[in-house]
Amino acid sequence: MATRSKALDPVADNSLAAKGYAHPEVLVTTEWLAAHLDDPSIRIIESDEDILLYDTGHIPGAQKIDWHQDLNDAVQRDYVSSEQFEKLLRAKGIDKNTTVVFYGDKNNWWAAYAFWVFKLFGFENARLLDGGRIKWEQEDRPFTTDVPRYASTSYKAPARSDERIRAFFHEVRAHSDSGKKLIDVRSPDEFTGAKIHMPDYPQEGTLRGGHIKGAKSVPWARAANPDGTFKDSQSLRAIYETEKGLRKTDDIIAYCRIGERSSHTWFVLTYLLGYESVRNYDGSWTEWGNAVRAPIEKGGEA
């Protein structure tokens, strides 16, 4: 369950509170960030699908986190160890009292993923820039190619706490078999099995197309406005509750292809709508679609 952190309250924004979110304190606006670029208690992190985008220009003071190299283990399919995470944050000038503001391209798609990984390590002072890179750029706010350097910290990382917000294959299988709520956030063609990857991407990575039995299709980007900001709570409830029948007390697992798009939906349900039990299945379709005897469904309403 999402909890309000007192450390984050001072940066809450009234314009975000007006959108009716359960936890508006996990977001900051572009206006707020522009006014706090020189705040020494803040570190800005850019995390993009396009890993070269940062080098072309980024928000002043922002540092880059590469989702693949910095957050994923180089050998086994898992996230970095506590020791590796600790080393990363120390090098970025982050400690437990630092407020970390994430942003990125594609409606904060990968920024939400980085946020989620930080939460696996129990990092509390994390936020998303509402609208991400696209809104900052549309408002003609400054970019720079200067790469900042910050003094190293003595941050101590705890052990990962996966079970609260992360789901594994055997848990998803039991969840599906028991008829509990599953949300497939991929594109409609991926859900039906017509494609095994997003449109306009190479069709590779899995042997079979389709979706997990009982899953409902809610493409992740439906939660965003054209400028990259999140839709207000009323609009979000219309999608997830009126249209798909979810409830705040439901036990929900979200998935996509590798867990990045579903981290965006996890954020929406957990922090913006205040759902009590939402887990991200990061193995997602690249695991399920290749697993021996994993049951799938094709077609259906997407």
Active site residues: 256
Asked if residues 275 and 161 have their Cβ atoms less than 8 Å apart, the reply is no
Cα separation, 283 vs 229, whole angstroms: 27
75: DSSP letter? S
Cα separation, 259 vs 246, whole angstroms: 20
Among 47, 62, 44, which Cα is nearest to 125's? 44
Cα separation, 103 vs 37, whole angstroms: 14
Q: Six-digit token pair at 136?
A: 């900052």
Asked if residues 50 and 105 have their Cβ atoms less than 8 Å apart, the reply is yes
Rg of the chain on CA atoms, in Å: 19
Cα separation, 42 vs 48, whole angstroms: 19
Residue written as tokens 């450390």?
7
Q: Which SS3 state, helix, strand or coil, does residue 240 take?
A: helix
